[in-house]
Amino acid sequence: MSLLLPKSGRVELARSFYRDVQNKNDYLHFSLGKTSAWTDDEAPPVPVDSETNTKDFRKNIMFTQLITSANICHLAKRINWVSGTVYDSYDDDYSSTRPSYTEAITLAAANFYVITDENKVYKCIDNNNNGAVANKPSNTGTATFSTDDGYIWKFLFQVSSADETAFLDTEHIPVRKLTGNPTHDVNGELDSVTVTAGGSGYSSVPTVNISGDGTGGSATAVLTGNAVTSVTINTAGSGYTFALITFSGGGGSGAAATFVLGDADALPALQSAVESTAVKGTVDKIKLSNSGQGYTVGDVTITITGDGSGAVATATIAADTGAITGITVTNRGSGYSFANITFTQSVGSGTGAIARAILSPINGHGSNPVKELFASTIGIVASVSENSNKDLIIGNDFRQIGLIKNLYNYTNSAIWTSNTATASFIIDVANNAQYAVDDNITTDDGGQFTVVQLADDGLGTFQIHLQPIIGLITATSTLANTTKSLTGLSINSVINPEISVTSGDIMYIENRSPISRSADQVETIKALINF
């Protein structure tokens, strides 16, 4: 049996995954964990695809953060425009007997598109008979256009500032389809603020502090009584893929809020215009495989037959041999899924010319850049901070990052859909001096735990966050701290984890050198899934 999963099929798998996350058919979470050291922390081991490794990974999870539509993007192979380079022209029929200039035998492997230093992406419709480029394309209109070096280009889109920051790297171009898809932030302005906690005790308006990867944002808090009830944005700024808000001063505490990023960029309009005006099934080029002979100059008619209409082309004839030396498409027509080329003349005895039509994608160039650029890799980026993740472990380090699909609630089989989750048991104790980060804890129930965080509310209540190895513990359990050789330790109460780490499908594991967490720290986590 011979089987083939073409590149287009892998793109469809990526698109299905992307849509499931976008539409919340599946819930995907980043996970961070593993406080214990590797054998060599400077050289973490390569993850092994085994049941034992997977089980250990699950036990190491400390907390998770939901992946949203703003955190995910299709990625295509990056091909830079460089003066003097010969690029492949678009051809719907590259093969082992008909390779591209760069010897690619499939369109997916060919260098038929470029990204410029302005982050504009173009498809090469014609490469001037394998000529080298000299003139950088810059046009952002919807029609194909030529440059002085003889190349014909089609503008597809310009990478937004937000996607540039989050996803553009030396190997990948972020690619989105805009029309008919969920919207996404492309400009990264501060659009609005949602107050999640008003706090208390404010005698004056606290200062609003904004941090993130953009610039220019400013805002002012509004008090009602002694609590923050709203935040007014003074300047929206730009370029934010994430923005964090904190409050300082004013004599109070506890206020918290989150930003909503807006879309006020002109770039979506450019791309949407390209997508919406794409012409289906055009005849882009007619390529000779045999020039024939004996044709009469000015007396050759090219007939294009197929399931489309409107395509017109003319032939250039060598006067001395009567060979057809070139074909110019004067009207690309539309609606072709196939097209046959024939040559006729009213006089003379020309014969032997053979040519084939190179057709656009069925829905036209630029209609769906994800498909057209074979963007079968999914990029996932998330920023983790105390403001974005209420379950963040502070004062400890982590060494493992993962992606998990459809985690369950700890107490039932319902899928966990909240933005953040803790995998720790939280116990109230009378004396936190009996515990320290990374201590090993056992219970008389047979439980085994690692201390991952200590918290003190300043009111005599001490909370110990326990990462379960064997999660057997109740409010009546008696603890032993084996690291400190302490036994008979009592607890006041137990809060169960929010998620079950034994649930969900693990899609990605990455081992790293230790990263220490602090309250004012932001980590940007990236993962690539290649279908």
Note whether 377 and 78 are within 8 A (CB): no
Note whether 163 and 172 are within 8 A (CB): no
Which segments in the chain show pLDDT lower than 50? 181-186, 263-265
The structure tokens listed for 18 are 């992307």
What single string gives the DSSP state of each residue in 271-333?
HHHHHHHPPTT-EEEEEEEEEEE-PPTT--EEEEEESSEEEEEEEEE-TTT--EEEEEEEEEE
Q: Compute, in degrees rounded to 10, the torsion defined by CA atoms 395, 400, 404, 407.
A: -40
Half-sphere exposure of 278 (CA within 13 A, CB side): 25
Q: How far is residue 429's CA from residue 175's CA, in Å, rounded to a whole number?
A: 51
For the stretch 202-260, pLDDT in tens is 999 999 999 887 777 888 888 888 889 888 877 777 677 778 899 999 999 999 988 87
Q: Which residues of 356-373 are buried (b: 16+ CB within 10 A; e: fewer)?
A: bbbbbbeebbbbbbbbbb
Give CA 414 to chain center in angstroms.
27
Based on its alpha-carbon atoms, the radius of gyration of the chain, rounded to whole angstroms, reads 31
> What local confidence, expressed as pLDDT, does residue 267 receive?
64
> What local confidence, expressed as pLDDT, does residue 509 receive?
93
> What local confidence, expressed as pLDDT, does residue 395 receive?
83
> What local confidence, expressed as pLDDT, does residue 360 receive?
96
> What local confidence, expressed as pLDDT, does residue 459 receive?
63
Q: How far is residue 472's CA from residue 401's CA, in Å, rounded to a whole number?
A: 25
Q: How far is residue 211's CA from residue 388's CA, in Å, rounded to a whole number?
A: 12
For the stretch 35-48, pLDDT in tens is 999 999 999 999 99
Contacts of 44 (CB under 8 A, 6+ apart): 38, 399, 511, 512, 513
Instruction: Residue 215: name the closest of 247, 182, 186, 239 by CA.
Output: 239
Q: How far is residue 451's CA from residue 449's CA, in Å, rounded to a whole number?
A: 7
Q: How far is residue 392's CA from residue 133's CA, in Å, rounded to a whole number?
A: 51
Q: How far is residue 498's CA from residue 468's CA, in Å, rounded to a whole number?
A: 13
Write the CA distances from 410 to 56, 207, 420, integer angstroms: 18, 38, 13
pTM above 0.85, yes or no: no
